[in-house]
Amino acid sequence: MDSLQKIGKFEAIALIIMITINQIIFNLPNTIIMNTGSSAWLNVIVISIVAILFCLLICKLFKSFPTQDIVDISEYLGGKTLKTIVGILYILFFIFVAGIFLRYLSSSLKLIYFEKSPIVFLLLLFLIPVVLTIKLGIKPVAQVNLVFTPIVLFSMLIILFATAKDFVPERIFPILGFGADKTFLIGLNNIFTFSSFAYLYFLIPVLKEPKDFKFIAVTSIIISAIYLFLSVVCLLMIFPFIAFSDEMLSVYLLTRLIEFGKFFQRVDAIFIFVWILSTFSFLSITTGFINRILKKLIKIKNHKEMSYSICAIIFSVALIFKNISDMKYIQNTLLKYIVILLVFVISLIILILANLKHKKEKV
Amino acid sequence: MAITAICSFAIPDFSLGFTLRILRFLYIVLGYIAGFLGIAIGIFVQLAILANSKSFGVSYLAPYLPVTNLNTDASYFVPPMWNREKRADFLNTKKPKSQEKISMRWKFWKGNR
């Protein structure tokens, strides 16, 4: 039955885009603006170009292993030891990302709409549908995600263009923000915003046509970069970057500025509804990938039942954080360096070494 | 309630409306528990179950899910008649191509062809 769990081209593109869109909602543009100031838009262009080049590089490196993911390649390179290490690292990474994102969104929703509800209640409400859908497999989750992705993308465009009347173009000055070094050199560490590469590393075995991997990877990274750029520019031009750097959901603040006459009030509720659907997709996709990695590491018969344990662990991780400032600190420091180290350094080294080994064996 | 009642008239067959009658109560309960978060849970889980279902070997949500080809006569945006070159994938036809790329040859003929 698992051999039928393959997804198509458009589903894969939607899957990767949804990861970045959720990160945009998760206050990622805010982090970039805090680090680079008014030159955040320049920094986003630079990191987008670097991300696209990195994407082309990993597509070339994956060509030697047409049906394998990063865990299989680690096994080829370093045997079961390296496979277990890389698998566990990625499982911990996905659990950590899902936990922090879940807690962040639940805390924000608690502030906005559910003041009297306990946070545990909200966390459970997010995790219960994830458990139910992951038992069906990753294919229906990817298909449902394909339905929601255009709606989420369209809603983001509405937010960005409906608030255009409040743009103050002078807010993008000074052009170099906190300085050229922060924009072009130190600012390169903002590449952590493209943590969707972690999901790309596990995508190939799930694709119906693995030869479409390059098209999927490049298209999704380009669309993600465009949306990241638009959201950063929008936030820069509407809010003075010094004053709003401590806001929780800065994209939500944009929705509060949207007005369509006096008949439509609180339009932000529609966007929150759409974002909740995208959160379910994000959590289901992440849990699905954790399930797949676990299936490779632990050869158990009925791996779909592991979704209960995985969601329980994500729930526990989400409860670790005491308050919002803890989460923001971890997001801006720990998560950034974990993504850069694991996704951009370690995985790239594994791919390069595996390719060199493959070439040696060919000769 | 009123909106769902009126929308139920869009269901073509009477027996297909039975599931809606039952699901309506589930959505009321979900909405009571968690507001729009509960409704979103219901929509997400129901869509996932429908996407996983098959009817006589064909995906329940065909031709909308899974998306295989956007250029057929069964998709979100139906092309004009002269541009419907491929038959819908879920039919698993012997000849997937229904017409040539240039179907209106007479439009491009010059002279006495």
All residues of chain B having their beta carbon less than 8 Å from the beta carbon of residue A11 are 66-67
Region A13-22: mean pLDDT is 91
pLDDT for position A91: 94
Q: Do A280 and B49 touch (CB under 8 A)?
A: no
CA distance B10 to chain A (A): 21
* B29 touching A (Cβ < 8 Å): no
Residues B9 and B33 in one domain: yes
Kindly state whether residues B20 and B36 are assigned to the same domain. Answer: yes
Instruction: Tell me, yes or no, whether B6 and B36 share the same domain.
Output: yes
Give the model confidence (pLDDT) of A235-244 as tens digits: 888 887 665 5
Q: Are residues B10 and B41 in the same domain?
A: yes
Q: Has residue A247 got a pLDDT over 70? A: no
Whether residue B63 sits in one domain with residue B46: no
Q: Do B45 and A137 touch (CB under 8 A)?
A: no
Residues B5-18 have a mean pLDDT of 79
Q: Say whether residue A129 is in contact with chain B using an 8 A CB cutoff.
A: yes
Task: Let me know whether B18 and B42 are in one domain.
Answer: yes
Domain finish residue from B31, B52, B73: B52
Q: Do A8 and B66 touch (CB under 8 A)?
A: yes
Contact flag A147-B36 (C-beta cutoff 8 Å)? no
For the cut 50, the answer to whether the pLDDT of residue A1 exceeds it is no
The more confident residue out of A168 and A149 is: A149
B9 and B48 assigned to the same domain = yes
For residue A252 the two structure tokens come to 């939500």
| B40 Cβ under 8 Å from any chain A Cβ | yes
Q: How far is B98 from chain A (nearest CA, A)?
A: 23
Residue B112's pLDDT is 54
Tell me, yes or no, whether B16 and B41 share the same domain. Answer: yes
Average pLDDT over residues B37-53: 92
- The verdict on residue B110 lying in a domain is no
Indicate if B48 and B6 belong to the same structural domain: yes
CA–CA min distance A202, chain B (Å): 21
In a domain, B92, yes or no: yes
Which residues of chain B have a CB within 8 Å of the CB of A114? Answer: 35, 37
Distance of CA A273 to the CA centre of its chain: 19
Q: Quickly list DSSP for B4-16.
A: HHHHGGG-SSGGG
Q: How many CB atoms lie within 10 A of CB A163?
A: 20
In whole angstroms, give the CA distance from residue B89 to residue B104. Answer: 24
Q: Taking a C-beta distance cutoff of 8 angstroms, is the pair B48, A144 a contact?
A: yes
**Residue B43 shares a structural domain with residue B67:** no
The SS3 assignment for A180 reads helix
Question: For the segment A195-205, what is each residue's pLDDT rounded down to a tens digit?
Answer: 999 999 999 99
Any bridge partners for residue B59, and if so which?
B54
> Which residue among B38, B43, B48 places its CB closest to the CB of A140?
B48
For position A248, what pLDDT does the model report?
67
Count the domains in chain B: 2
**A139/B contact by beta carbon, under 8 A:** yes
Q: Is residue B91 part of a domain?
A: yes
Q: What percent of chain B has pLDDT over 70?
A: 86
Q: Which domain-ending residue is among B11, B34, B52?
A: B52
Quote the radius of gyration of chain B (alpha carbons, Å): 21
% of chain A residues with pLDDT over 90: 43
Q: What is the mean pLDDT of residues A160-174?
A: 82
pLDDT average, residue stretch A215-222:
93
B62: closest chain A residue by CA:
A143
Please indicate whether, in this complex, the C-beta atoms of A143 and B51 are within 8 angstroms of each other: yes
Residue of A276, A281, A285, A307 to mutate when probing chain B, most B C-beta within 10 A: A276
Q: Would the CB atoms of A113 and B40 count as touching at under 8 Å?
A: no
Element at A286 (helix H, strand E): helix A268-297
How far does A147 lie from chain B, in Å, by closest CA?
A: 8
Q: How far is CA A332 from CA A18, A44, A192, in A?
A: 21, 16, 10
Percentages helix, strand, coil for chain B, rounded to the nearest 5? 50, 5, 45
Are both B82 and B97 inside the same structural domain? yes
In which domain, by residue range, is B7 found? 2-52
Q: Do B47 and A141 touch (CB under 8 A)?
A: no
* First-residue to last-residue Cα distance in chain B: 63
Are B37 and A10 in contact (CB < 8 Å)? no
Q: Which domains occur in chain A, in start order?
A: 2-362 (1.20.1740.10)
**Is there a single domain that holds both residue B30 and residue B72?**
no
The answer to whether position B111 is within a domain reads no
B43: nearest CB among A8, A125, A277: A277
Asked if the structure places residue B81 within a domain, the reply is yes
CA distance A26 to A192: 13
Give the model's confidence band at A317: pLDDT under 50 very low, under 70 low, under 90 confident, else very high.
Answer: very high
Does residue B86 sit within a domain?
yes
Q: Does residue A342 have a pLDDT over 80?
A: yes
The predicted-structure confidence for A112-161, as pLDDT tens digits, reads as follows 888 888 999 999 999 999 998 888 888 899 999 999 999 999 998 888 88
- When mean pLDDT is compared across A95-109, B25-39, B69-83, the lowest value belongs to B69-83
For residue B58, list its beta bridge partners. Answer: B55
Tell me if B112 is assigned to some domain: no
CB contact under 8 A, B44 and A8: no
Share of chain A above pLDDT 70, in %: 97
pLDDT the model gives residue B69: 67
Q: Is the pLDDT of residue A245 over 70?
A: no
Q: Report in angstroms the alpha-carbon separations of B69 from A1, A8, A148, A149, B95.
A: 24, 10, 18, 18, 15
Whether B93 is covered by a domain: the verdict is: yes
Give which of B33, B36, B41 to mutate to test A binding, by max A Cβ within 10 Å.
B41
Q: Which residue has the higher pLDDT, A128 or B8?
A: A128
CA distance A78 to B23: 52
Q: Which position has the higher pLDDT, A180 or B40?
A: B40
Token pair, residue A241, equals 């970057």
Q: What's the predicted TM-score (pTM) here?
A: 0.89
Q: Which residue has the higher pLDDT, A265 or A45?
A: A45
In angstroms, the CA B53 to CA A318 distance is 33
Q: Cβ–Cβ of B44/A139 closer than 8 Å? A: no
